[in-house]
Amino acid sequence: MSLSTAVKEGDQISPRQVIKLDATGTYYKDLNREIRSLAQAGARKFEIHNVYGQRYLGTNLWGIKDRDKIRLKIFGTPGSDMGAFMDGPTLEVIGNAQDATGNTMNCGRIIVHGSAGDVLGYGMRGGEIYVRGNVGYRVGIHMKEYMDKIPTVVIGGTMQDFFGEYMAGGRIIVLNKFFQGNPPIRQSYFIGTGMHGGSIYVRGDVEAHQIGAEVGISEPTDDEWKIIERYVANFCSVFGLEKNQVKLLKREKFWRLYAKSKRPYGRLYAY
């Protein structure tokens, strides 16, 4: 691994300095340790090049002061569990992300310019994830919320099956290729199976057989439209898209999927 500037122990790094790392052939533990020690020395802006499968990026930055100002720009294909348990930093991937992105993430932001794999946002409890492309199976499973900590995921493309399964809180917005100027494509199956909290907002038609028995469908309320527009505006600014398109969204067919009951299985095991 090579550093743009040699950092000696005890050095203070200016938060404005961009630290460039070359991850070629570096084991994920070494890479993450290096990032942590640089962040402890004050570094806040990182560019990490040639990332091929290194896991848990952004995870071990817990406890660092001002960690919400840490920004990792990742070039390549980061490994699974990127941003797992992350608490504050921003990760931006120029490329695709693999599986389990933002696993049980607590706070912070993940921006993926390509697509992401399966199980994105699993058990997520706070923070934001923006994916410009598509996402795989079982995304947003068991997301949850508490008081003002409401995790939010915005997906530019579409998703595969078991989307929002057992979802307990938070929001997911699926734009279904709106910004590519494409008509919505058919959504996946088993959406929101076992859902008991939170909201999924999807562009395009959703048929009854595609959703779980625990899911209700309605149109978003005016208050919900404000939330959708706010996060889609964020989506535009992180990906450099024209923000004035956001108001065109309201002309589209948009559905809100919600949990019919907070305790769908409450009577199942009661005698």
65 with 91: CB under 8 angstroms? no
- Given 186, 243, 253, 263, the residue binding other proteins (CB under 8 A): 186
Three-class DSSP category at 191: strand
* Mask for 130-159, x = binds other proteins (CB under 8 A): ---xx-xx--------------------x-
Neighbours of 150 (CB within 10 A): 19
Phi, psi for 34 (deg, rounded to 5): -60, -45
Identify which of residues 215 and 228 has a Cβ nearer to other proteins in the complex.
Answer: 215
For the bound state, the minimum distance from the C-beta of residue 98 to other proteins, rounded and expressed in Å, comes to: 6
Residue number, 22 or 229, with CB nearest to other proteins? 22
Nearest to 130 by CA among 94, 162, 156: 156
Rule CB under 8 A: choose which of 15, 114, 220, 264 binds other proteins.
114
Q: Give the max Cα distance, the chain.
A: 68
3, 53, 66, 243: which one contacts other proteins (CB under 8 A)?
53
Bridge partners of residue 107, in order along the sequence: 87
Q: How far apart are CB 270 and other proteins at their closest, in Å?
A: 28
Q: Which residue type sits at 15?
A: P
Q: Which two tokens mark 53?
A: 């499968």
Binding site for other proteins (CB under 8 A): 28, 51-53, 55, 76-80, 96, 98-99, 114-115, 117-118, 133-134, 136-137, 158, 160-162, 185-186, 188-190, 209
